[in-house]
Structure 1
């Protein structure tokens, strides 16, 4: 999540804190029993729901299957000209189809299954005036153009200026769009419960190059313009999509396990590439705890931002020293399992991603010194009640405080308390197994809490309720052991 960076800087710790045992680093038990399925033969059908926190940007009737986006960017005029083909399934009968699209963009042409179709565009609501039948698939083709602008963010955080398509002073582009904002540059069912495949083609004048999720296919230059084609085979939610357009250089690398790695950095800044060379070590450390990397490749994209985001297979990071540090690399790579492989059904359960990524980041930071994890979690414990009072419990937070510290540190402490309760071996076995149970899909509070209870043979419903929905700091034995 893009709030991660400012959060750690504001705390002044991540290398300072805990609830925990005396071990320098809780030790995982490798297990080869859980195998992540190959996403290639999987379809991208989802079970969309209306988001409980931000319902206005998604429609449960739409199950997007594949987005094919052709983006033509003019940095001098700040104009985007685009063609989009959306294959979708209707989940129910409906008189019209709703998508989200930013108001500065104007639809010039729309066809449904090859025939012209009327669309109405009011604010961010794009209405396709065509009756659809539940269970049937459709193909919507759009041509649109305009000068995209970012959307306002529902947060009090100072490091998030806007969501979605962001244009820099020199006409370069980057996108970060959590919890929404993909609609600022394409027509989309902009909610986490609807996962789809993506094919993205980007054209921009040299020396600019377009970068997106997945694997780079063709890269051609003609008449002074460079076109890149990207294919993201594994289904992903719209908030995990990334696009950047700028004078970027590609550097290739490879992990110890054989995962192809690429680093995309601004031209003339070789120091950034040097910092990203920590990626193989960070990935190896996480694979020891979470299992094989769940996608076919991993990229790190550095842009002119103060933040960072776990965009699927192509992590987007700001160009600061902290944003490109090993701690942040571990956090965002951890999200490739917790958040990307298995994604929250809706935004109430963002704690499911952030708590585990935060906990793993803390464990990483403490691998040389047992006092670091202990002190970090102890500091977080001292802030717990203020966070609940200011922004709400992690699984019932204030919608205007998205990405506040409460969804990071409180569930991170919860995971450590659970580790102590069930033991290291059992805890790390289940941490590794959980993402596989919903691989390339979605899950929510009821799914994960029931699963942990079943796997441990212990009713943990009260434990999770107190940590995630309670108005006050849990007074558990695990909390007491944080300072003992």
Structure 2
């Protein structure tokens, strides 16, 4: 996600087979530290969110979602079959996921047996005794007309989140901080990362696009089916889907990363704009290290917003959302936000502040100016943003995604750069995501890590910038 001060407006611009483990079999519990894909794909240590506790359930740890979705644009109806492998984190008499009330459940099974359930509001509660650290396989059949959910935000480009349907029946999704539950049953909280696969069917010329690698595409009897696999774990807010008349254009970056541009048919000018991305990716890899995933995609949808959905960046069809600085910002999130993800929404400053700082560094080089001059400009507005919406790590929950979580932390990172020197600062910016590959981190994790790595006690520095009611003085 990216924020920009443009005419005073903030714009939003961030598989293993189920046969690998027998149903109901024990799975090792995660340690207190973030787990990695190499240890156990999809294994997480879910928490109750500190900002939005009504979404997500720490009692379950989703390991893998397989989503089979068919879309009828004429009736605006989605038919879904979802298979979820999840681990119970504690003994309980039920398993619970988030699923919007707009969607009607046809059946639920657990490990092959029908299960009773209640669907109260957005809570899908499945009556099945659960034992801590056992893995269960749920199959959920459902259908209905998905609708977006209200966003806890004051931004004009972010009234609703989740599943959006256009006037002509095309579909796109953006769901930060939550809203994935508007179209599938999910533990909709960032600490629970999981693997994903998607099978999407729709009438041609519509085509389904999602995260990860396009495994297959076929058209039969006027219906196009695509299969996608995301083989590194992602938080639910980083998952995306679009069903539209889209055309794919392919190329590779200088380092060999496969890049795909999914753009509306007949819009070659959008492809031309997106072709700025490989140069930005090269610039990022010089500073952040090798791109952390197997592929990169850009998806243009009928929106004014955009965000860094993992490996498939979703961008609105607007001049700003497709600008080079936004491309750099959203690609930076693949390291800061996607490779390592906040434990809960209190720490969205962690990824948004760094992506904003990196965007500023890129803008300075592109414009032939200095990082300091960019930060000077941003510093003019930051005190008002902090006053209006709260400190970056203690913001107003009804003002999600406001500029206070972008610009204050960006200024903070620049102050730390000046304190440590460029070489040491960029070394640590590069080292943090790699050290927490496919994991999650919270305020204590990152602030302690930077103190340990620098040999300085930076706790007061971080507290002043992230929790202070007033903006610290810059050097």
TM-score relative to the length of structure 2: 0.93
Task: Give the aligned partner of residue 20 of structure 2.
Answer: none
Identify which of 422, 431, 451 aligns with 2:449: 451
CA positional deviation for 1:384: 2.5
1:44 aligned partner: 42
What is the match of residue 52 of structure 2? Answer: 54
SS at match of 2:375: helix
Contact 1:105 1:147 in 2 (8 A): yes
Q: What does residue 165 of structure 1 align with?
A: 163
Partner of 2:309: 311
2:135 matched to which residue of 1? 137
Structure 1 pair 406–47 and aligned structure 2 pair: CA distance change class (3 A): same
**Secondary structure of the residue that 1:426 maps to in structure 2?**
helix
Q: Partner residue of 1:25?
A: none
CA distance in 2, matches of 1:400, 1:119: 32
Q: What aligned pairs does 1:309-458 form with structure 2 within 5 A after superposition? A: 309-369=307-367, 371=369, 373-458=371-456
**Equivalent residues of 2:303, 2:317 under 8 A apart:** yes
Which residue of 1 is the match for residue 459 of structure 2?
Answer: 461
Distance 1:236 1:146 in 2: 26
Match of 1:9 among 6, 25, 39: 6
Residue 169 of structure 1 deviates from its aligned partner by 0.3
Q: Secondary structure at the match of 2:68?
A: strand
Post-superposition Cα deviations, 1:235-260, rounded to whole Å, max 9, x if no partner, equal 00000000000000000010000000
Contact 1:111 1:142 in 2 (8 A): yes
Once the two structures are TM-superposed, the CA of residue 13 in structure 1 deviates from its matched residue by 11
- Give the unaligned 5+ runs of structure 1: 15-36
Q: Give the one of 264, 267, 271 matched to 1:266.
A: 264
Shift of 1:382: 2.2
Q: Distance in 1 between matches of 2:50 and 2:223?
A: 43
TM-superposed CA distance for 1:56, in Å, is 1.1
Q: What are the within-5 Å matches in structure 2 for residues 289-308 of structure 1?
A: 289-308=287-306
Alpha-carbon deviation of 1:41? 7.2
Question: Contact 1:46–1:63 at 8 Å: present in 2 too?
Answer: yes
Task: Judge conservation of contact 1:97–1:127 (CA < 8 Å) in 2.
Answer: yes
Structure 1 CA distance for aligned equivalents of residues 246 and 221 of structure 2: 19
How big is each residue's C-alpha offset from its partner over 1:345-386, in whole Å with a ceiling of 9 and x where there is no partner?
000000000000001101111104454533331132222322
Deviation at 1:84, TM superposition (A): 0.2
Counterpart of 1:257 in structure 2 is: 255
Q: Is the 8 A contact 1:57 1:99 kept in 2?
A: no
The match for 1:64 among 62, 65, 69 is 62
Q: CA deviation at 1:152?
A: 0.1
The verdict on how the C-alpha distance between 1:377 and 1:285 changes in structure 2, with shifts beyond 3 A counting, is same
- Which string of whole-angstrom CA distances, capped at 9 and with x for unpartnered residues, describes residues 253-308 of structure 1? 10000000000000010100011111110100000000000000000000000011
Whether the 8 Å contact between 2:364 and 2:374 is mirrored in structure 1 is: no
Q: Which residue matches 1:227?
A: 225
1:114 matched to which residue of 2?
112
Once residues 360 and 340 of structure 1 are traced to their aligned partners in structure 2, the CA distance between those partners, rounded to angstroms, is 15
Give the aligned partner of residue 92 of structure 2.
94
Q: What is the CA–CA distance in structure 1 between the aligned matches of 2:244 and 2:179, rounded to whole Å? A: 20
Give the Cα–Cα distance (whole angstroms) in 2 for the partners of residues 370 and 456 of structure 1. Answer: 30
> Equivalents in 1 of 2:37, 2:210: separation in Å?
19
Deviation of 1:320 after TM superposition, in Å, equals 1.1
Indicate conservation of the 8 Å contact 1:260/1:296, yes or no. Answer: yes
Distance 1:322 1:104, change over 3 A: same
CA contact (8 A) 1:40 1:233 kept: no
What SS class does the counterpart of residue 393 from structure 1 fall into? coil
Between the aligned partners of 1:438 and 1:282, the Cα distance in structure 2 is 23
- Give the aligned CA root-mean-square deviation in angstroms: 1.6
Q: RCO greater where, 1 or 2, for CA within 8 Å and sep 6 or more?
A: 1
Distance 1:298 1:368, change over 3 A: closer
SS at 2:380 equivalent: helix
- Gapped regions of structure 2 (runs ≥ 5): 12-34
